[in-house]
Amino acid sequence: MKKNILFILAIMLTTVMLMSACRKSSCNVVPDVLVMERVSLVQYPQLRLAQQAVAIDRGGVAGLIIVSLGGDQYVAFDRCSTVDPHKKCAVQVDGLIATDPCSGATYILTNGSPSNLAECPLKPYRAFRNGETIEIRN
C-alpha cells in the first residue's frame, strides 16, 4: 500500500515538474527581428556614465533600451513588453526600471529581469562600444 502511494506521489511530482518546465521555456515571446542599430555617445552622453539607461524608438519590435553598466560594458533590450508582446507595448524607462504602460509590469534594466507582474525578461541584444558609438545587434 505504501509503495502505491509513493508511486502515485512520484508521478504527480514528475507531472508538476514537467508542466513547470514547459511554462519556463515559453519566454521567447517577443518576435525575432533583425537589429543593427548605432547610437551616438555624442547624442546620448549619459551612456558614458555607469548605471544609465536610454530608450530609443527605432530598432527591435518596439524600440530599444541601451544600458551602460560601466567600464565600457553595455546591454540592450527590446522595449516590447513580454506580458502581451502582440500589442507591441513599448516599456518606459525611469532610471534602471522599465515599466509597461499597458499592464503595469516592471523590469530591472541591469539584466532585463521581470520585477513585477511579468514572468519573462525583456528580449536582450548584444551591445558594444565602437569609438564614440554603441552598436546594438542580435
Pairing mode, if any, of strands 92-94 and 97-99? antiparallel
Residue at grid coordinates 522595449: 79
pTM across the whole model: 0.80
CATH class of 36-137: mainly beta
- Percent of the chain at pLDDT > 70 equals 81
CA dihedral 39, 43, 47, 49 (to 10 degrees): 150
Size (the chain), residues: 138
Task: Check residues 17 and 40 and name the one with the higher pLDDT.
Answer: 40
Average pLDDT value for residue range 73-78: 98
Residue 118, pLDDT above cutoff 70: yes
3-class secondary structure, 40:
strand
Name the percent of the chain in helix, strand, coil, to the closest 5. Answer: 20, 35, 45
Query: What pLDDT does 29 receive?
Result: 86
13 burial type by CB count under 10 A (0-12 exposed, 13-18 middle, 19+ buried): exposed
Residue 22, pLDDT above cutoff 80: no
Give the pLDDT band of residue 28 (cuts 50, 70, 90).
low
